[in-house]
Structure 1
Amino acid sequence: MASLLFTVQRHAPEFVKPSKPTPHEIKLLSDIDDQDGLRFQIPVIQFYKYNPNMAGKDPVDVIRKALSKTLVFYYPFAGRLREGPGRKLMVDCNDEGVLFIEADADVRLEEFGDALQPPFPCLNELLFDVPGSSEVLNTPLLLIQVTRLKCGGFIFALRLNHTMSDAAGLTQFMSALGEISRGMKEPSIAPVWNRELLNARDPPRVTCIHREYEQIADTKGTIIPLDDMTHRSFFFGPTEVASIRALLPPHQQKQSNFEILTACLWRCRTIALQPDTDEEVRIICIVNARGKFNPPLPSGYYGNTFAFPVAVTTAGKLMENPLAYALELVKKAKADVTQEYMNSVADLMVTKDRPHFTVVRSFLVSDVTRAAFGEVNFGWGDAFYGGPAKGGVGAIPGVASFYIPFKNAKGEAGLVIPVCLPNEAMGKFVKELDNVLKNNVNQPTIGGKKPSFIISSL
């Protein structure tokens, strides 16, 4: 699919503003929202088939008008981000509007092929980076491009300033936009700001260990350079997951797909990157903390509500031990997240100048299967593909992978996971992963000796 070539004709970008007057005010982000690790733009893309029931309807016109109405309820998105004392972020709700681009592409949806997954050809054309729009401060908080296709389908692409929302918050907004596109007068879930619910305590008190925010120097240049980054996606259906699960001892075979895949990918990725065996490596698991609060957060809350719990070990231990070792580390990291943990993170942010999570020799994974991007319906039905537009996004590109729901050409439901690695390391990663899926124990020598590969845990 990467060889697919097409051209996109764009109209001049415009600003879409709320259709009715909205409050002009300053709204503070939470102390979870405005940490350094969320100060970047995140791209999402949705592909929609032609629907004969919508014949004569222009998706650009439908979505543009619905966006204006939706911004009456989500008016902070039409504002601009400002920074105050102590690097505190806030939204200037000034109705300046959301950036919107109308476009046409000379390509049909079916030309993208059955495996419609990241990396997408011509992504920069399908989600055009309007000059001057991608800074975190003082720029539009949302950029939306709707591109008509020759077949009558269309592509909806969106770029979000991540400090405003997480995946759940973003899909809440997108679902509201879909509902109003389909004729509803207001969203079925009323948006709730209430960012003070995730603010630091007074006085702040860091009560948990947060190794995810340790400041570590990259003395060996391990952060992946942008000019040497290869993007590939990997499909994990029932067969692939069963192959990995079968390599675990009986008491671990009931662990979640997320935990098993994360342990496997972390180990394969580390082997591919070949760090020194005594170097620390990290897996960061994004954990949605919405269900951890008592009393619960309001259902319409659309701020960031997740943590970056981390597991740390040496590269040697990770590569030489069976998969069960990595799996236990992943499970423990996920279990660390509680309401107290979230309060402790907020307190850390205000006492430590809102640090970035550690990226040196780190691999970050985020499961967006429950965010239901593909179920966003503007009137043309569910998306043929819906979710993150690429892996490796973030303030430090190359660190993150997303777990995205996907059906392959055989109709098998599973996950597609985009991975970013240096070109040479990607080749090693593919070979290592293939070894795992084929239960191949002929492993390379690591640190002068052969590791006890994951099959040894049987």
Structure 2
Amino acid sequence: MAWNSCDGISVRRSEPELVVAAKATRSEVKHLSDIDDHEGLRMHLSFIMFYKREEAMKEFDPVMIIKRGISEALVHYYPLAGRVAEGPNRKLVVECSGEGVMFVEAQADVALEELGDSIGPPCLHRKHFLYQLPASQGILASPLLFFQVTRLSCGGFVFAVCMNHVVCDSFGLVQFLNTVATMARDPHAAIQQPVWRRDIFSARNPPRVTCTHHEFEDVVHHSTTTTSSSHEDLSHESFLFGKKEIETLRNHLPQNLQKCSTVELLTACLWKCRTMALDLDPNEVVGVSSFVTTHGKVDVPKGYYGNAFVFPMALSKAGLLCENSLGYALGLIREAKGRMSEEYVRSMVDLMVLKGRPMYRTHGSFFVGDMTRVGFDEVDFGWGKPVYGGPVGAIPLSSYLARFKNGIMVPILLPQLVMKRFLRELTKMTSEEEFNLSPDIKTRPRSMI
């Protein structure tokens, strides 16, 4: 193992190794769906879980237990041990080669208690607990999953995973991780059998776009204002919405909207505050999308682990969004989500094919993902549920809602000056007092990228 010391924490990592399926598996080529194939999903996404010491498991090594679970789970999820390749017209497939997933074991000289609130998103020490090889920067011809399990000095451990997003969404990943956890505890246990069936989200013949999809519209820039910035200029902060803040936000709403979901409420709040902080031209059109699962709208079989979500977009002129009440933003968001139907999903899939898998609209756009019900905080390898389980942090243009402590933590990336204005607007909207977490987190600088 090689030691790496930074931020007062020393971590010793082993050389990366490939973990393969415990038994021989099929060698074949599997096609991805036309949702999987979307240009915007050709990326990696990372998640992290922190586990306490469990007295009943003190004789067991989490590294070896989890590695065994991965190997056993890959017998059933053998495509995840393969590699993504690009065919004619950039169509993606998975070559089920059985090469394996990447695995790193590590040892850190820090206890879970010492990490405190830094484990929440954005995890300040993610560079210690999430190991990525240079090859992980590309999605082709590289492992589909990268794991690191880090033993902590207290007897707890950190489990981190980086996934190739074209193969599965967060629900699909959690389904696989639950299988890993089950097989780690008992290799002979019954599991939910995985279902590939990517044809469910393949285009119709002939394909036809029957709905309006603002999230893929071409945008003509009427302003020199931009919402993007170089990574060096971005501040990565997070905000905890507790019961008090959520109740305060609801009080901003008219009676007929106060029974909206917490996710809708927070999405409206973030969209409005972010737009005000960006100080855009009032005529600039801005949009927000919530990632919405297709389960319940499309007949998706139990066990399906491919990408199964869409993100209908609400649009508004920046001036109208800033001038109007929170209820205005919320109404637009609910209207956009109300367009979600099976026909909407089929229309979007057909659009992918007809327009050559276009990138989603980025100019003036903001995306919000609800990770509070995905299940990362429920994965039990034998040490109980994690203290925190969810996204490592935000990514440019996207924030993820995650359960943390007794509230919902929302990480966000914004240019440094914009972040200061965002905090000011958020403070005004949520409380007369200073907003932002507990005293510990409030005074602690968040990470910069």
TM-score computed with the length of structure 1 as normaliser: 0.91
Letter in 1 for 2:431: K
Q: Is the contact between residue 42 and residue 162 of structure 1 (CA under 8 Å) also seen in structure 2?
A: yes
Contiguous gaps of at least 5 residues in structure 1? 393-397, 408-412, 441-458
Of 380, 399, 407 in structure 2, the residue corresponding to residue 414 of structure 1 is 407
Which of residues 415, 425, 433 is equivalent to 2:418?
A: 425
Identity of aligned residues (%): 46
> Could you tell me whether the CA contact under 8 Å between 2:72 and 2:187 is conserved in 1?
no
Cα shift readout 1:374-424 (whole Å, capped 9, x = no counterpart): 1101110001100001112xxxxx2000011121xxxxx321111111101
1:133 maps to which of 128, 136, 143: 136
- Secondary structure in structure 1 of the residue aligned to 2:404: strand
- CA deviations 1:95-138 (Å, max 9, x no partner) are 01100001111110001114631121231221112122330111
- What amino acid is aligned across from residue 200 of structure 1 in structure 2? A
Is 1:203 aligned with 2:201?
Answer: no
| Cα separation, partners in 2 of 1:433 and 1:221, compared to 1, 3 Å | closer
* Pick aligned residue for 2:376 from 349, 373, 377: 373
Aligned to 2:227: 222
Find the aligned partners of 2:270 and 2:136 in 1 and give their Cα distance: 34
**DSSP-derived class of the 1:299 partner:** coil
Residues 32 and 346 of structure 1 are in contact (CA less than 8 Å); yes or no, is this contact kept in structure 2? yes
- Residue 237 of structure 1 deviates from its aligned partner by 1.5
Partner of 1:444: none
Distance in 1 between the 2:296 and 2:334 partners? 17
Q: d(CA) in 1 for partners of 2:217 and 2:189? A: 44
1:62 counterpart = 2:47:
no
Matched letter for residue 271 of structure 1:
M
Does residue 243 (structure 1) correspond to residue 239 (structure 2)? The answer is: no
Give the AA of the match of 2:108: A
Q: What is the CA-CA distance between 1:439 and the residue it aligns to?
A: 5.7
* C-alpha distance in 1 between matches for 2:377 and 2:326: 32
CA RMSD of aligned residues (A): 1.4
Q: 1:175 aligns with which of 178, 197, 208?
A: 178
Evaluate the alpha carbon distance shift between residue 431 and residue 338 of structure 1 in structure 2; reply closer, same or farther with a 3 A threshold: same
Structure 2 CA distance, aligned partners of 1:169 and 1:143?
Answer: 16
Q: Do 2:285 and 2:318's aligned partners in 1 also have CA atoms closer than 8 Å?
A: yes
Equivalent of residue 365 in structure 2, options 362, 367, 375: 362
Q: What is the CA-CA distance between 1:284 and the residue it aligns to?
A: 1.0
Residue aligned with 1:319, SS? helix
Secondary structure of the residue aligned to 2:136 is coil
- 1:438 and 2:443 are equivalent in the alignment: no
Tell me the distance in 2 between the aligned counterparts of 1:361 and 1:186: 48
Query: Separation in 2 of the partners of 1:277 and 1:238?
Result: 33
User: Contact 2:272 / 2:322 at 8 angstroms: preserved in 1?
Assistant: yes
Q: Any idea what SS the aligned residue of 1:133 has?
A: helix
Conserved 8 A contact 1:119-1:231: yes
Distance between the aligned counterparts of 2:70 and 2:300, measured in 1? 26
Which residue in 2 is equivalent to 1:455? none
CA distances 1:164-218 after superposition (whole Å, capped 9, x unpaired) = 1111111000111011111142552110000001100011011111110113366
1:262 matched residue in structure 2: 267
1:86 & 1:177 partners in 2: Cα distance? 35
Note the alpha carbon deviations across 1:209-245, whole angstroms, 9 max, x for none: 1110113366544323211111111111211100000
Name the structure 2 match of 1:118: 121
Q: Counterparts of 1:187 and 1:389 in 2: how far apart (Å)?
A: 30
Q: Say which of 104, 128, 145 aligns to 1:142.
A: 145
* Separation in 1, partners of 2:228, 2:176: 34
- Quote how far apart the aligned CAs of 1:88 are: 1.0
**d(CA) in 1 for partners of 2:229 and 2:196?**
36
Over 3 Å off, 4+ runs: 217-221
Contact 2:291 2:367 in 1 (8 A): yes
Q: CA deviation at 1:8?
A: 1.1
Within the candidate set 310, 316, 325, 1:313 is matched to 316
Relative to structure 1, is the Cα distance of residues 217 and 136 closer, same or farther in structure 2, using a 3 angstrom cutoff? Answer: farther
Mapped partners of 1:127, 1:433: distance in 2: 31
The aligned residue for residue 154 of structure 2 is 151
Contact 1:176 1:187 in 2 (8 A): no
Tell me which residue corresponds to 2:257: 252
2:402 alignment counterpart: 404
Q: Which runs of structure 2 are paired with 1:269-418 in the superposition (5 Å)?
A: 269-293=274-298, 296-392=299-395, 398-407=396-405, 413-418=406-411
8 Å contact from structure 2 (residues 243, 407) kept in 1: yes
Paired residues in the alignment total 426
Q: Residues of 2 paired with 1:70 and 1:227: CA distance?
A: 39
In 1: Cα distance, 2:248 partner to 2:397 partner: 26
- Mapping 1:447-458, distance limit 5 Å: none
Q: Is the 8 A contact 2:293 2:310 kept in 1?
A: yes
Residue in structure 2 matched with residue 84 of structure 1 by the alignment: 87
The CA deviation string for residues 238-282 of structure 1, in whole angstroms up to 9 with x for no partner, is 111000001111111111111111111100001111111110111
Distance 2:301 2:135 in 1: 35
**Residues 243 and 439 in structure 1, CA contact (< 8 A), matched pair in contact too:** no
> For residues 5 and 356 of structure 1, what CA distance do their matches in structure 2 show?
41
Find the aligned partners of 2:302 and 2:269 in 1 and give their Cα distance. 34
Residue 153 of structure 1: how far off its partner (Å): 0.4
- Cα distance in 2 for partners of 1:345, 1:224 equals 29
Separation (CA, whole Å) in 2 of partners of 1:53 and 1:160: 31
Q: Which runs of 5+ in 2 are unaligned?
A: 1-5, 434-449
The answer for the alignment partner of 2:237 in structure 1 is 232
In the alignment, is the contact (CA less than 8 A) between 1:232 and 1:420 conserved in 2?
yes
Cα distance between partner residues in 2 of 1:340 and 1:34: 19
The answer as to whether partners of 1:75 and 1:93 remain within 8 angstroms in 2 is yes
